[in-house]
Amino acid sequence: MEKIDQNVLKRAQVWLDGNYDEQTKADVRRLLTEDPSVLADAFYRDLEFGTGGLRGIMGTGTNRMNKYTVGMATQGLSNYLKKMFADVAPISAAVSYDSRNNSRHFAQITAEVFAANGFKVYLFEDLRPTPELSYAIRYLGCQSGVMLTASHNPKEYNGYKAYWDDGAQLISPHDVQVIREVQQINSIDQVRWSGNPELISPIGKEIDEAYLRQVLALRLSPEAIERQKDLKIVYTPLHGTGRTIVPEILKRFGFTNVIIVKEQATADGNFPTVHSPNPEEHDALDMAIKQAEKEDADLVMATDPDADRVGIAVRDADGKFILLNGNQTAVLLFYYILNRWKELGRFTGKEYIVKTIVTTELLRDIAQSFNLACFDVLTGFKYIADIIRQQEGIKTFIAGGEESYGYLVGDFVRDKDAVSACAMIAETAAWITDQGGTLFDLLLEIYMTYSFYKESLLSLTKKGKTGAEEIQRMMIDYRTNPMQFINDIRVTAIRDYLSREEKNLETGKVKPLHLPVSNVLQFILEDGSVISVRPSGTEPKIKFYFGVRETLKETGDFDRVNRLLEEKITGIIQAMNLN
């Protein structure tokens, strides 16, 4: 039998000797005798409470998502909230959950620990999307909130997203200080497990209605929708929370021909029809696209289990369904909204949009053409929410987006929102259809007006300690020996978000970058290409984001220019020795 590390044995013994339930102890004993390798992974460390909360494989152990790790995280969060809101009585928190296995159970544990700490808890009576949880925090005047979800991860995972009083995920200084409080909870005996059940109130329909009214108020083209109400839309919630509310908002917007993929409409944490419930992956939309082809539909939309991301498929010039990436969907959505705001005379000169630094620069070009400010933020929607908070009462937020399929329209939610995004994407389709075009036609029109931007992502996994060291060496090398040319194109500037400086390689001038410190590098090329390099903070991965562009003079030239851009990205990858 494989020898078990003494530290792992010691940590497992704590669970056998402590005040853990008998089923948990039985699981530990079974792992000790039957599966030492799984035991080692389950106990070799504590499941890390990161800046976004918890995320991990479900099971018994310190490195697993279970009722004990969830309880300890909630106690640490409670301790911090009591320090920060000492003058608030009672402190209140909202709790929601998605369709994943154990999400409801973990939500109940979270609510009970909050209540045991004297908090007023608003617990959703049934699964609800992440954006509705964000909205509920603001609507109910809570100081915090928790969403039990692992977003689009495979079925083995679950997670715990912590929110602040503005409905946004934690940022500095709260994120680091909450992490510190959680780390100080080193025993389940420090957790207050049970309190007054009367402090826990079920919520649901009232929040649904208030939230839906806010989303409906985003509508910009009711007349076009009325004329195109029969637009055929196929929607799949991928067994998640979107089923509870996306069809309803599409109905309220005025769409009468929404076809739901029945096989994927049931809430099921095993996600039986997909390998992974991730709308960024082609396989996740296969079933919806097949149904759309059968029904001769116009648009396909898919949301992930907690309904904060949306992926879409549209018909190309030949009538074939193609998947759009997150950048393309953002471009269509933002372009439509800004056009309508202009046509409706809503601009006052104080509006703005927000994007992450690895999201297409085409959004900036579009914003500038409407004389709007475009804020860049680090990767993570919490930074978009931070800009909204900073600009409250100063400027008007219109929309924010990131390349990883997350969008936000309006500021009543402070996280990415696939519910409102689905409604506004459908409205965009109705608007362009009303003019005799398609979403693909609109995308080509945008490319011809500004430039044909094409983006690609390459993610390299480097496992283990040696892999982490290799990633570190790569970043050091990029900084100490920066490439002067990439794919025979001159590098004109390097942005280093670790030193928070941008250096112009032609003039030698250095200017500050006004964003938080982050281990990200960007290479700006002479032809406008942008290459971003970002190691993951939670996984043994390093990600490369490529953004290239060319002029597109006419729609018939799309295929040729598209191939040219693909070749340019391939050339960059080869020049950087990444293939």
Question: Which residues are the active-site residues?
Answer: 151
Using CA atoms, how far residue 307 sits from 151, 185, 304, in Å, is: 8, 32, 5
In one letter, which amino acid is 285? L
Query: Which residue in 370, 520, 501, 384 sits closest to 446, CA to CA?
Result: 370
Helix axes 362-369, 326-343, angle to 10 degrees: 10
Q: How many CA atoms lie within 13 A of 88 on its CB side?
A: 17
Q: For residues 21 and 116, what is the distance between their CA atoms, to the nearest angstrom?
A: 19
Q: For residues 337 and 219, what is the distance between their CA atoms, to the nearest angstrom?
A: 10
Q: Is the distance from CB of 353 to CB of 367 less than 8 angstroms?
A: yes
Q: Is the distance from CB of 330 to CB of 363 less than 8 angstroms?
A: yes
The CA angle 58-101-13, to the nearest 5 degrees, is: 25
Q: For residues 418 and 478, what is the distance between their CA atoms, to the nearest angstrom?
A: 36
Q: For residues 486 and 386, what is the distance between their CA atoms, to the nearest angstrom?
A: 34
Residue with tokens 């705001």: 341
Q: How far apart are the first and last CA of the chain?
A: 39
Using CA atoms, how far residue 111 sits from 43, 72, 304, 525, in Å, is: 26, 13, 24, 51
Neighbouring CB atoms inside 10 A of 258's CB total: 21
Query: Which ranges of 169-315 does DSSP label H, i.e. alpha helix?
Result: 174-183, 205-216, 222-227, 246-253, 282-295
Q: For residues 440 and 292, what is the distance between their CA atoms, to the nearest angstrom?
A: 16
Burial of 565 (0-12, 13-18, 19+ CB in 10 A): buried
Q: Is the distance from CB of 315 to CB of 309 less than 8 angstroms?
A: no
The CA angle 268-273-276, to the nearest 5 degrees, is: 85
Residue with tokens 């800004």: 338
Q: Which contiguous run of DSSP H or E holds residue 356?
A: strand 351-356
Q: Is the distance from CB of 346 to CB of 410 less than 8 angstroms?
A: no
Q: For residues 62 and 43, what is the distance between their CA atoms, to the nearest angstrom?
A: 5
